[in-house]
């Protein structure tokens, strides 16, 4: 392949347009084609970025000379567009979530495996830019080092996802079972669910409690509390909401050797002088506790982060023919969706769900919900408006 990757972008709304804004400055990528079902939008972006306009991905894949594609369309369409891209032998960088439900995600991964039989160097990346955030890199580093010892509890309260009704009104597909297939777990929290899985792995069981349209005029969930149990006994709490303001993003990780607390770009380590588990078993002091010291862990925020970094790694993966260059692989898209589906299934059916989840049960729920999806969006001036993503917290 020539050194410049010929790239197409499908979906030119909030995220697609924001990808285009940095792609124009990337040396090893040339955006040759842009695609949106809204003709005006595709034409405007094509003119702005000196690319060819297409109004269907089929047409773009048939006519444009492409090496790779970024898919930034509403979630349900990630599956058919990605599968089609792999059939055409294109490298794919897919926006989060990989898909709305486990079965669709598996279809994409199967298409990838099939396409790799023809080109073993084909790249499938996920846009999980939160993994480039310096505080999460530091937390991952500390957990990998084993300094915390055995983990006993993780509590993540992330209510920094406030969204107004205007946001939900801004796209006809948003927050409907038929158009989006879910609420906060499907739209905002794929990042957090990916992070949970990246840092702690998949739990063994999931209990979920989801409130549907509690703060907004929507038909999907906007407040969720989940309780996880892991194989080794660690428990997890996952509390998220789009209706709380001011919200908080507070992650507590408790290990036998101390507690790691992340909030407001600050990472504090309350280090136990000895293992709390050993102390608990062996101490003869009736009301004694383990002595601990507070340490503020420095985080280097000068390092590059966010979407562009993920795309740079995607480009490096293509040029070096090596999937290990990626920040997040397509395969890693599956577990966050599995967690989201398991939480909702548990909430709908009011019982504990075991992982790994067989996708069929939740797919049936979704099919039923989508069929009965009655939600009609009020026509407002925000319908189909491109939003300024810099306002988005987290």
Ligand X SMILES: NC(=O)c1ccc[n+]([C@@H]2O[C@H](COP(=O)([O-])OP(=O)(O)OC[C@H]3O[C@@H](n4cnc5c(N)ncnc54)[C@H](O)[C@@H]3O)[C@@H](O)[C@H]2O)c1
From candidates 26, 28, 30, 37, binder to ligand X by CB under 6 A: 37
Q: Interface with ligand X by CB under 6 A: which range of 30-38, 104-112, 335-343, 363-371?
A: 30-38
Contact pick of 7, 12, 92, 185 for ligand X (by CB under 6 A): 12
Binding mask 187-226 for ligand X (x = CB under 6 A): x---------------------------------------
Q: Are 15 and 95 in contact (CB under 8 A)?
A: yes
Residue from 5, 20, 34, 73 that binds ligand X (CB under 6 A)? 73
175 vs 190: CA distance, rounded Å: 15
* 13 lies in the binding site for ligand X (CB under 6 A): yes
> According to CB under 6 A, which one of 5, 10, 105, 206 is a site residue for ligand X?
10
- Least Å distance between CB 257 and ligand X? 34
Which position among 5, 7, 9, 15 is part of the footprint of ligand X (CB under 6 A)? 15
* Least distance in angstroms from the C-beta of 188 to ligand X: 8
The closest of 97, 171, 179 to 366, measured between CA atoms, is 179
351, with CB counted inside 10 A (0-12, 13-18, 19+), is exposed
- Angstrom CA distances, 289 to 133, 252, 348, stand at 34, 19, 41
CA proximity to 22, closest of 34, 31, 13: 31
Q: Which of residues 365-384 bind ligand X (CB under 6 A)?
A: none
235 binds ligand X (CB under 6 A): no
> Judged by CB, which is closer to ligand X: 77, or 373?
77
- The C-alpha atoms of residue 344 and residue 185 are separated, in whole angstroms, by 9
Minimum distance from residue 341 beta carbon to ligand X (Å): 16
For residues 258 and 333, which CB has a smaller minimum distance to ligand X in the complex? 333
> 91-95 and 124-127 as β-strands: parallel, antiparallel, unpaired?
parallel
The single residue among 93, 127, 154, 239 that binds ligand X, judged by CB under 6 A, is 127
Selected from 28, 30, 77, 165, the binder of ligand X by CB under 6 A is 77
- Closest approach, Cβ 233 to ligand X, in A, equals 33
95 touching ligand X, by CB under 6 A: yes
User: Per rule CB under 6 A, is residue 14 in the interface with ligand X?
Assistant: yes
Q: Which of residues 166-185 bind ligand X (CB under 6 A)?
A: 171
Residue 41 found at the interface with ligand X (CB under 6 A): yes
Cα radius of gyration (the chain): 22
In eight-state DSSP terms, residue 107 is: H
What is the closest distance, in whole angstroms, from the C-beta atom of residue 31 to ligand X in the complex?
A: 15
Q: Return all residues near 317 (Cβ < 8 A) that are at least 6 apart.
A: 91, 123, 125, 323, 324, 325, 326
When the beta carbons of 123 and 148 are compared against ligand X, the nearer one is 123
Helix and strand tally (H, E) in the chain? 12, 15
CB of 167 to ligand X, least distance (A): 10
Alpha carbons 331 and 102: distance in angstroms, whole number: 12
The H-or-E segment that residue 272 falls in is strand 266-272
Beta strand residue intervals within 115-218, DSSP E:
124-127, 151-158, 205-212
- What residues contact 71, with CB distance under 8 A and at least 6 apart? 10, 11, 77, 78, 81, 82, 85, 92, 93, 94, 95
Q: Which x/- pattern, by CB under 6 A, does the window 312-351 give for ligand X?
A: ----------------------------------------
Which residues in this chain contact ligand X in the complex, by CB under 6 A?
Answer: 10-16, 35-38, 41, 57, 72-75, 77, 95-96, 127, 129, 171, 187
């Amino acid at each position: 392949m020539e050194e410049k990757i010929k790239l197409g972008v499908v979906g030119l709304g909030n995220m697609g347009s924001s990808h285009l804004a940095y792609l124009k400055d990337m040396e090893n990528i040339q955006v040759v084609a842009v695609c949106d079902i809204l003709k005006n939008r595709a034409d405007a972006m094509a003119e702005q970025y000196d690319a060819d306009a297409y109004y269907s991905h089929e047409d773009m894949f048939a006519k444009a000379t492409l090496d790779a594609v970024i898919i930034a369309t509403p979630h349900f369409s990630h599956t058919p567009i990605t599968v089609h891209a792999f059939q055409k032998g294109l490298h794919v960088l897919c926006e989060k979530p990989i898909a709305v439900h486990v079965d669709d995600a598996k279809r994409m991964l199967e298409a990838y495996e099939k396409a790799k039989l023809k080109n073993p160097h084909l790249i499938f990346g996920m846009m999980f830019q939160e993994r480039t955030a310096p505080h999460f890199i530091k937390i991952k580093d500390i957990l990998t080092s084993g300094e915390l010892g055995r983990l006993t509890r993780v509590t993540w309260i992330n209510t920094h996802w406030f969204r107004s009704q205007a946001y939900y009104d801004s796209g006809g597909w948003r927050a409907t079972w038929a158009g989006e297939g879910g609420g906060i777990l499907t739209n905002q929290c794929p990042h957090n669910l990916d992070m949970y899985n990246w840092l702690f792995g998949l739990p063994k069981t999931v209990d979920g409690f989801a409130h549907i349209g509690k703060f907004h005029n929507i038909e999907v969930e906007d407040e969720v509390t989940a309780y996880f149990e892991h194989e080794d006994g660690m428990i997890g709490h996952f509390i998220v909401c789009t209706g709380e303001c001011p919200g908080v993003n507070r992650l507590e990780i408790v290990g036998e050797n101390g507690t790691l607390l992340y909030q407001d770009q600050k990472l504090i380590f309350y280090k136990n002088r000895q293992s709390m588990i050993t102390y608990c078993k062996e101490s003869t002091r009736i009301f004694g506790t383990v002595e601990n010291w507070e340490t503020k862990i420095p985080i280097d925020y000068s390092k590059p982060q966010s979407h562009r970094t993920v795309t740079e790694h995607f480009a490096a993966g293509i040029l070096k023919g090596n999937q290990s260059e990626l920040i997040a692989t397509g395969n890693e898209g599956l577990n966050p969706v599995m967690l989201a589906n398991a939480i909702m299934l548990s909430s709908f059916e009011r019982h504990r769900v075991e992982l790994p989840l067989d996708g069929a049960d939740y797919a049936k729920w979704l099919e039923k919900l989508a069929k009965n999806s009655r939600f009609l969006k009020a026509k407002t001036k925000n319908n189909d408006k491109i939003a300024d993503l810099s306002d988005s917290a987290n």
